[in-house]
Amino acid sequence: MKTVKTSRALALGVTAALAASAFSYSPASAAPSLTLDARSQDGKAFQVADYADGDITVQVTDGTDAVDVDDSQDLRYSWTVTPFAPNATPVTLPAMGADVQATDVKGAFVVPLPISQGPGTYKLTAVLDEPAGTMGAPTATLDLAVGTSTATIDGLGASTPGLVQEGTLTVTAPDNTFGTDLDSQPDPVAGQAYSLTVDHGFFTGGEATPSRIGDEAGNLTNLGTRLTGVTDANGVLKFDVGIARDAGFDDDGRVAATVKLSGSLAASDVVDWSTDDTLNGRVAIRTSPTSEQTNPVNPTLAGNQTYYDVFALDQFGNPVDDQTIYLDYTGRLKDYIADDTEFQSNFDTIGDIFVVSNVADRITVTGTWESAPSYRYINNQGGAARVTDPAARPDAVGSTATTTYEIDFNASRYSMSSSVSDTVRVGTTVTQTVRAVDQQGNPIEGFQVRFLRFGPDATNGDVVATKSTNALGEATYSFIGTRRGRALITAEVTDGNRRKELNGSAAFGAAVNARLARTKGKSSGGRVDRLTVSATKLAKGARVNLYKVVKGKQKLVGSKKLGKTGTAAFAIRDRNKKAKTKYVAVVRSTSTSIADQSRAVNVR
C-alpha cells in the first residue's frame, strides 16, 4: 500500500507489531506440520505506484496461527513475471536459482517485489528450509496483477434530492491475468478494497426503517462523503448516493455531484441533481438582505417599506423555481399597503414583495403553495410513492411577521459634534453636525434643526441656518471663524410639536510659534538643565509642558503657564552629567491661541 517509503528495518518492525497484536506464537519444533501463507497488503491487483517496500510478506503458520522459526531456517523464493503484452515471454527472477530471505519477524518474511519489471503478472514461489522434526518443506505461491487494472463508475444519472442514485464501480485486469479462461474478456478484480468519494451529497444506505405509513419520505441515511468497500466475484462494488440541503441549489436549483475513485486508479461519474421534480414542498418568506432594504427593518418605522423574498422549497430547504405562491396579510388592514397577493417563485434575493404599515402594528405575511408535491411512505419497510391526486396533496404554508413602530421623541437620542476638537487658526471652516437616533437606534429623517450662533464675531444668538435631518439622521451647519475667540453654537431639534436643545462650541486663535532654548546667562553647573519656553504674548496663561526625549519617547519633566510676556523658565535636574539631554516643549491652546510644539533642543 503506497503510503510512505519505508526502510527494510521499519517494514519488519511494522510487520512485527501487527503480528504481535493479531497472533499467538509457539516454537517451530512444537508444530508437527508447517504451512506458508503469502500475502499482499495491496490485494492481488494494484498499480505500480501503489507498491511500497514491505507490502509482500510470507508468514509461517501451523495451519491456524503464526509460528516463529529457527534462526537457521531461511525462505527461498523466486518470481515469474509475464509482461502485459501480446506473446510476452515470462521472465524468472532471479535467473540463476532462488533468492534467500534469512530474516524473519515472528515467522514473517518480507519478500521484495521486482517492481522495476513494470506492468504484468507476477507469480511468487516460496519454500521454507525444512526444519528438523517437521513433515517436509512448506511452500506457497502468490499470483499478482500489477499495473494495468482499469476501473469504471457508471449507472448514475439525473435525480432529485431525497431519492437514491445507484452506482457501480467495476475493476478489471487484462484477460487471463488470474489464470486461463475461455471468455476472452477482461478478468474481474475480486476481493479488492477501494475507496470512493463524492463532492456534493453523501453515500447512503437508503431510507431509514422502520417507517410509518403516511409520513413524508426522502430522509436518507447519511454515511458520509467517503465509502470503502470490497469488489465481489465480478469485480463489482455497488454503492448508493443521495443529497439533501446543498447551497449549490440556491442559484439555479441544480447541483452536479461527482463520485470519484480514490487512489492510483482513475474513474468518476456524475449525478445531475435538480429540484425541478421535488418530493415534498415547503414555503418560506424571509426578510430580504439589508442591501435590498430602503430603511432599517425588524422593527420598521411606520410608513417605511419592509421587503421580503418568497421561496418555494423542497423538504430540505433547497429552492424550487416557478411555483405559484398565494399571499395573505393580517393586521390592521386599513392602515397598511401590500405589494402583491400572488407570486411565482424564483432563486433571487432582491426583494420580491413589500409591506408598509402607517401605524405601529404587527403585519403577518403568509404564503401558500396549494397542493404542493407529496412523497409518502406506503409501508413500514421504507417503501414510498408520490401522491398523484392533487386533491390529496396538502398545501405547503409559510409565514413571517413585521413589526412597525412610531418614533418616541422623548426616548430618542440627540447629539451634536464638531469637526474640530481644539482651538484652530482664525479663518478655519468648522462644521457642526446634529444627529438624531430614535428609540430603536435607527436614524430619524425629517426632523427640523435650527442653528443659532454666538460669536466670535458680531453674531449674537442669531438663527444662522435651518436644516432637516437626512436619511442618516444628520443635519449640518458650517461657518468660518473670522476673529479670535470662542463661538457658542446652539441647535434646536423639533418634530413640530416637541423640542430638544443641544450646545457646542469652537475656538479660533492665532499661531504662537513656540520656541525652546537654553536659558541665557544661567549656568547649569553640571547639576541643573535650565531652559526657557517663549511664544507670542497672545499665548499668555497657556499651559506649557516640557518633555525629555529618551529613545524617541517623550517623558514629562515639567509643566507651567506662560507669563504675561509669553515665556516660562524651567530648571530640570541633570541626571546624566556631561551627556547631552534632548528636550521638547508643547504649548497648549487657549481661546485666543492655538497649540504648538517647539523644536528639540540638546543640553549638555
> What count of other Cβ atoms lies within 10 Å of the Cβ of residue 460?
9
Q: Which three cell numbers stand for residue 402?
A: 413585521
Q: pTM (2 decimals)?
A: 0.71
The four Cα atoms 11, 13, 14, 19 give a dihedral, to 10 degrees, of 120
Q: What is the pLDDT of residues 105-128, one digit of tens each?
A: 999 999 999 999 998 899 999 999
CA distance 178 to 355: 74
58-76 average pLDDT score: 88
Percent of the chain with pLDDT over 70: 92
Q: What is the pLDDT of residues 256-283, one digit of tens each?
A: 999 999 888 889 999 999 999 999 999 9
**253 and 319 in contact (C-beta within 8 Å)?**
yes
Alpha carbons 139 and 141: distance in angstroms, whole number: 7
Residue 10 has pLDDT above 70, yes or no: no
Domain at 8-146, CATH class: mainly beta
With beta carbons less than 8 A apart as the criterion, state whether 596 and 514 touch: yes
Within 8 A by CB and 6+ apart from 316, the residues are 161, 162, 244, 245
Q: Does domain 515-603 have CATH number 2.20.130.20?
A: yes
pLDDT surpasses 60 at 603:
yes
Residue range 281-405, CATH number = 2.60.40.10
The strand pairing partners of 440, in sequence order, are: none
Helix (H, G, I), strand (E, B) or coil at 156: coil
pLDDT at 3 over 60: no
* Among the listed residues 506, 488, 483, the one whose alpha carbon sits nearest the alpha carbon of residue 426: 483
Lowest-confidence region among 97-111, 275-289, 370-384, 510-524: 510-524
Q: What is the pLDDT of residue 5?
A: 33
pLDDT band at 184; cut points 50, 70, 90: confident
Q: Does domain 413-509 have CATH number 2.60.40.1930?
A: yes
- Would you call the peptide bond into 210 cis, given omega within 30 degrees of 0 as the criterion? yes
Per-residue confidence (pLDDT) for residue 84, from 0 to 100: 82
Cα 269–chain centre separation: 27
Contact (CB, 8 A) for 485 and 434: no
- Cell digits for 283? 414555503
Residue type, 44: K
End-to-end CA distance of the chain: 79
What is the edge-to-edge ordering of all strands in the sheet holding 474-480? 413-418, 429-437, 474-480
Instruction: For 572-593, write each residue's pLDDT tens digit.
Output: 998 877 788 999 999 999 988 9
8 pLDDT higher than 50: no
Is the model's pLDDT at 6 over the cut of 80?
Answer: no
pLDDT grade for 132, boundaries at 50, 70 and 90: low
User: For residue 29, what pLDDT band results from cuts at 50, 70 and 90?
Assistant: very low
**pLDDT at 333 (0 to 100):** 66
Residues 6+ apart with CB under 8 A from 334: none
H or E element that contains 13: helix 8-22
Q: Which residue has the higher pLDDT, 120 or 340?
A: 120
Residues in the chain: 604
Note the CATH number of domain 150-274. Answer: 2.60.40.10
Report the distance separating Cα 586 and Cα 427, nearest Å.
Answer: 23
List Cβ neighbours of 56 (8 Å cut-off, separation of 6 or more): 38, 39, 40, 41, 110, 111, 112, 113, 124, 142
pLDDT tier at 14 (50, 70, 90 boundaries)?
very low
Which of 19-33, 41-55, 307-321, 497-511 shows the lowest per-residue confidence on average (mean pLDDT)? 19-33
Question: Given this model, what pLDDT does residue 209 score?
Answer: 81
Write the DSSP string, 118-155: -SEEEEEEEEEPPPTTSSS--EEEEEEEES--EEEEE-
Average pLDDT over residues 231-245: 97
Q: Which residue has the higher pLDDT, 336 or 435?
A: 435
Burial of 275 (0-12, 13-18, 19+ CB in 10 A): buried
In angstroms, the CA 213 to CA 549 distance is 86
Three cell numbers written together for 361: 402594528
Specify the DSSP class assigned to residue 275: S
3-state SS, one letter per residue, for 164-192:
CEEEEEEEEECCCCCCCCCCCCCEECCCC
Q: What pLDDT does 342 receive?
A: 93
Contact status, residue 37 vs residue 104, Cβ threshold 8 Å: no
Examine domains 281-405 and 515-603 and report if their fold is the same. Answer: no
pLDDT tens per residue, range 564-575: 999 999 999 988
Whole-number Å distance between alpha carbons of 83 and 96: 20
Quick check: 217 and 207 in contact, CB under 8 A? yes
Q: For residue range 188-206, what is the model confidence (pLDDT) as tens digits?
A: 988 888 999 999 999 999 9
Which residues, other chains included, contact 521 with Cβ-Cβ below 8 Å and sequence gap of 6+? Answer: none
**Is the Cβ–Cβ distance between 154 and 171 less than 8 Å?**
no
Dihedral sign computed on CA atoms, order 189, 190, 193, 194 = positive
Q: Kindly report the average pLDDT of the chain as a whole number.
A: 89
- Cβ atoms of 531 and 516 within 8 Å: the answer is yes
User: What are the extents of the domains in the chain?
Assistant: 8-146, 150-274, 281-405, 413-509, 515-603
pLDDT, one tens digit per residue, over 208-220 is 888 899 999 999 9
Judged against a pLDDT cut of 60, whether residue 292 lies above it is answered with yes
